[in-house]
Amino acid sequence: MTAPSLEQWIPELSETFKQELLKKGYLKHLKEGDVLWQEQSSIRFIPFVLKGALKVIRQDEDGRELLLYYIVPGQSCIMAIYSALHPSPSKVKAVAEEDSELLSLPVNESSDWIRRYPEWTHFIIRLYQQRFEDLIQVLDSVAFASLEERVYDALVKKSELFKQQTVTVTHQQIAQETGSSREVISRTLKQLELKGKLIMGRNKITLTQASKNKTHR
């Protein structure tokens, strides 16, 4: 990895801090579905995504999952940074949404970087703001949206993430990410298909152009 890969996401990055990140961080390659950490496990590094995407999930006692947000290139996991500043078991699960490349940063350096490098503090503040907005959207969706709306919105997010009209996803994966069951999701997808919002295939779903250009709600 070369230094410009960092500069495009942290424009104010000083040369000194850039070299320290490159020296103390190490590249980590993930395959789709690889788990970075489980809930209640120790977070041993701060992931800075260079390629691909990660998804952060909250899981209840019954094993039901809810997708909280995606981490895309130029972003990190605020939960990992929080654990670095306040050592505690992880409250979320992090999984590679697709083949990904990370710069893994040591958690024990974060506090020192906050004191020494204002650009690191600014990066964390921006990240907190983004994640706060993400979680507000999740809260609004769970509290106010119908399951049909939530499923459709989840598919739109995947489509935007991969920049493709057709997304590869199973009914079970959608159920896990929306906190539902596979049977309910299958019925919901069929309803959306009948309304002309999508076309289902084998482990693939294509969003129709007309439906993407409209506000779903």
Q: In what order do the strands lie in the sheet with 45-51?
A: 26-30, 100-106, 45-51
150 membership: H or E segment, kind and range: helix 147-162
Task: Output the average pLDDT for the chain.
Answer: 90
Non-local CB neighbours of 49 within 8 Å, separated by 6+ positions = 71, 72, 73, 74, 75, 76, 100, 101, 102
pLDDT digits (tens, 9 = 90+) for 115-172: 999 999 999 999 999 999 999 999 999 899 999 999 999 999 999 999 999 999 999 9
Rounded to whole angstroms, the Cα distance separating 132 from 116 reads: 25
Residue type at 126 in one-letter notation: R
Q: Which residue has the tokens 């309304």?
A: 195
What pLDDT is recorded for position 4? 42
Domain ranges of the chain: 4-143, 145-212
Structure tokens at 215: 């506000």
**With a threshold of 0.75, does the pTM exceed it?**
yes
- What CATH topology corresponds to 145-212? Arc Repressor Mutant, subunit A (1.10.10)
- Tell the CATH superfamily of the 4-143 domain: Jelly Rolls (2.60.120.10)
- Check if the beta carbon of residue 188 is closer than 8 Å to that of residue 151: yes
